[in-house]
């Protein structure tokens, strides 16, 4: 994560988002499909208030598809439309526009009632750093989309991207911070690479990833690391077997935890362990 968040930066980011919000009809909020809860901004609901919004679960190619469906249902149960996308392979992008337009149906009906001439719906993307905002915008607009000029009363230098005739998208996304001071959240953000590596102990993050795999995806660990299928009680046993199998050893055949940890984290982030979700809607979280 390139941005270091300090109170001053957070304040500035929030004001920037609020000023962009005034120009749009609908907010497209991105969250990482592997950690939808942890990758959302804690204040976003307060900031956007009752503006129509859609949650887009990004990097769905890396998340457990079954759990992603559970998350979408979880949000829909709260009256929030949620869709999932895989920008890397351009999958699911078409549904974002449909979902966003659907959220503005009431607004469009109001225009009609008042005899206001319909115009393209204005949308903006919001998300924490590294959630996939630029990738999604680039893949979504493709090469066909022409930039359209500044509009009266709208911040200069800001461009609108034409998404067909029904929607214009603000070309610069809103960036907000995650709730990284919360250890539950910090651990998950770190595992996905949303926090700078220098700030973390990769061994701890590897333990965390192994712990989740041990509980939900033991077969993925067995397969990826070619481990023997035998009972293992603790994450440490898994960790050590992985280290041994991969030759992450110090003098005297002692496990090189640092090296093994770095390997597990890197392979998880690259999707090499398979599709893994690190949080679920029914996880117990202490407030
Ligand atoms: P941001 O604008 O929100 O900060 O995020 P950005 O699009 O830069 O994406 C952050 C990282 O996430 C990038 O990887 C990007 O390739 C990856 N990413 C974005 N969307 C997807 C997706 O749908 N699936 C997968 N698997 N990855 C995705 P990077 O390693 O930082 O950069 P790069 O080496 O890919 O260029």
The answer to whether residue 282 sits within a structural domain is no
The answer to whether residue 149 sits within a structural domain is yes
The protein residue with its alpha carbon nearest to ligand 1, atom 33, reads 135
- Is the domain of 151 the same as that of 63? yes
Ligand 1 interacting residues, C-beta cut-off 6 A = 58-59, 61-62, 86-88, 127, 129-135
Confidence of residue 180 (pLDDT cuts 50, 70, 90): confident
- Is the domain of 37 the same as that of 169? yes
**Domain count along the chain:** 2
Kindly give the distance from the C-alpha atom of residue 112 to the centroid of ligand 1, in angstroms, as a whole number: 40
Kindly give the distance from the C-alpha atom of residue 155 to the centroid of ligand 1, in angstroms, as a whole number: 28
Please compute, for residue 167, the number of CA atoms within 13 A of its CA located in the half-sphere on the CB side: 24
pLDDT tens string 231-267: 999 999 999 999 999 999 999 989 999 999 999 999 9
pLDDT tens string 83-113: 999 999 999 999 999 999 999 999 999 999 9
Closest atom, ligand 1, to C-alpha of 131: 3
The percentage of the chain sitting over the pLDDT mark of 70, rounded to a whole number, equals 93
The answer to whether residue 27 sits within a structural domain is yes
From 135, 191, 195, 266, mutation site for ligand 1 pocket: most ligand atoms within 8 A of C-beta: 135
Range of the domain at 74: 7-175
The answer to whether residue 148 sits within a structural domain is yes
- Is the domain of 138 the same as that of 209? no
- Is the domain of 20 the same as that of 141? yes
The answer to whether residue 135 sits within a structural domain is yes
Which whole number is the average pLDDT over 75-80?
Answer: 94
CATH code: domain of residue 41:
3.40.50.300
Cα distance between residue 59 and residue 268, in whole Å: 13
What pLDDT does 143 receive? 57
- Is the domain of 151 the same as that of 27? yes
The protein residue with its alpha carbon nearest to ligand 1, atom 6, reads 132
What pLDDT does 181 receive? 83
Residue 232 has φ and ψ, to the nearest 5°, of -130, 130
């Amino acid at each position: 994560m390139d941005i270091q968040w300090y109170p001053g930066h957070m304040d500035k980011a929030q004001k920037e988002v609020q000023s962009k919000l005034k120009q749009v009809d609908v907010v497209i909020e991105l969250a990482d499909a592997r950690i939808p809860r942890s990758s959302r901004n804690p204040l976003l609901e307060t900031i956007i208030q009752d503006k129509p919004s859609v949650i887009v679960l990004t990097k769905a190619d890396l998340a457990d598809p079954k759990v992603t469906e559970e998350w979408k249902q979880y949000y829909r149960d709260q009256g929030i439309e949620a869709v999932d996308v895989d920008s890397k392979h351009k999958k699911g992008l078409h549904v974002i526009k449909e979902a966003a337009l659907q959220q503005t149906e009431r607004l469009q009906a109001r225009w009609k009632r008042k005899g206001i001439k319909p115009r393209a719906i204005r949308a903006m993307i919001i998300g924490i750093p590294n959630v996939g905002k630029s990738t999604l915008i680039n893949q979504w607009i493709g090469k066909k989309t022409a930039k359209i000029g500044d509009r009266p009363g709208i911040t200069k230098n800001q461009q609108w991207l034409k998404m067909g005739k029904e929607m214009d998208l603000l070309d610069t996304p809103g960036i907000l911070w995650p709730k990284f001071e919360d250890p539950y959240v910090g651990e998950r953000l770190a595992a996905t690479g949303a926090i700078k590596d220098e700030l973390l102990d990769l061994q701890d993050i590897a333990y965390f990833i192994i712990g989740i795999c041990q509980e939900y995806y033991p077969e993925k660990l067995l397969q990826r690391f070619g481990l023997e299928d035998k009972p293992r009680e603790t994450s440490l046993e898994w960790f050590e077997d992985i280290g041994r199998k991969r030759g992450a050893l110090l003098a005297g055949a002692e496990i090189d935890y640092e090296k093994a940890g770095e390997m597990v984290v890197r392979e998880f982030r690259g999707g090499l362990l398979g599709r893994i979700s690190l949080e679920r809607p029914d996880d117990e979280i202490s407030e």
